[in-house]
Amino acid sequence: MGAGHGHKLHFHGHSPVHRAPAHLKILTLLAFMLVVVATPREWYPVFGLYLLVVVAVIALSRVPVTYILKRCVVEVPFLFFALLLPFVATGPTTEVLGVTVSQHGLLAAWALLVKGTLGVLASLTLAATTEPQELLRGLERLHLPNQLVQIMAFMVRYLDVVTGEMQRMKVARDSRGFSARNPRHWPVLARSLGALFIRSYERGERVHLAMLSRGYTGRMPR
């Protein structure tokens, strides 16, 4: 098994950003994102200011910038979509580097790119400076419905177990000569995913039994 210490998104530290109460950080992130999303996309310099704010917070938290940047890869599919927009959108066109593209599309791509990136950076900063347990307690203090907090708590708890299971299935597949590069093998991936789902579902049932056995009646004890 050998689960590592801490979560993969969390960077251990003792900066003021780390120490700030989790519920405040969540609210700040939410407010920041609302402002970013509500800002008209033509106000170009304002986005520079936003970026400065995020960079300042990251600097204050003393989390290495590379640590955050590496984790930004989650954004790649969105970037791909953003790059596609200028070519597929309609309306008046313009020329960029000799290629004819849609003006609307270009603007939409810019908005997606900049707002998405700011969102990812800010969320990663929150994740890097807040332990998952703290995050859950913060959400609880913000009076998020208890059921939702419970579901998230279980997700945090079983993330390692399920990824471990997935990893073992991958090792077992690869040990029998499987190669994900070969498109003919791809149906196997789908079936593995199905098996993983069933296993996780059955584990859910077993966990529930274990909870009932200790007197669980549908509400988490306080």
Partner 1 sequence: MSTPVLDVRGLAYAYPDGHQALYGVDLHVHQGERVALLGPNGAGKTTLVLHLNGILTAGAGSVSVSGLPVEKAHLQEIRRRVGVVFQDPDDQLFMGTVRADVGFGPANLGIKGPELDRRVMHALDLVGMADFVDRPPHHLSFGQRRRVAVATVLAMEPEILVLDEPSSNLDPASRRELADILRSLDVTLLMVTHDLPYALELCPRAVVLSDGSVVADGPTYDVLTDDALMRANRLELPFGFDPRTVGPRP
Q: Give residues in contact with partner 1 (CB under 8 A).
A: 1, 3, 5, 132-133, 136, 153-154, 156-158, 160-161, 203, 206-207, 209-217, 221-222
> Closer to partner 1 at the Cβ: 67 or 216?
216
CB of 220 to partner 1, least distance (A): 8
> Closer to partner 1 at the Cβ: 6 or 16?
6
Half-sphere exposure (Cβ direction) of 65: Cα atoms closer than 13 Å: 5
Half-sphere exposure (Cβ direction) of 62: Cα atoms closer than 13 Å: 7
CB of 120 to partner 1, least distance (A): 26
CB of 135 to partner 1, least distance (A): 11
Q: Using an 8 Å Cβ cutoff, are 132 and 17 in contact?
A: no
DSSP state for residue 95 in the 8-state scheme? E
Strand partners, 100: 95
> Closer to partner 1 at the Cβ: 98 or 221?
221
> Closer to partner 1 at the Cβ: 90 or 217?
217
> What are the tokens at 200?
């996780």
How many whole angstroms from its chain centre is CA 15?
Answer: 23
Query: Which residue, chain included where needed, has tokens 């993969």?
Result: 8
> Closer to partner 1 at the Cβ: 191 or 208?
208
> What are the tokens at 181?
């590069």
CB of 137 to partner 1, least distance (A): 9
CB of 145 to partner 1, least distance (A): 18
**Alpha-carbon gap, residue 10 to 189, rounded angstroms:** 29
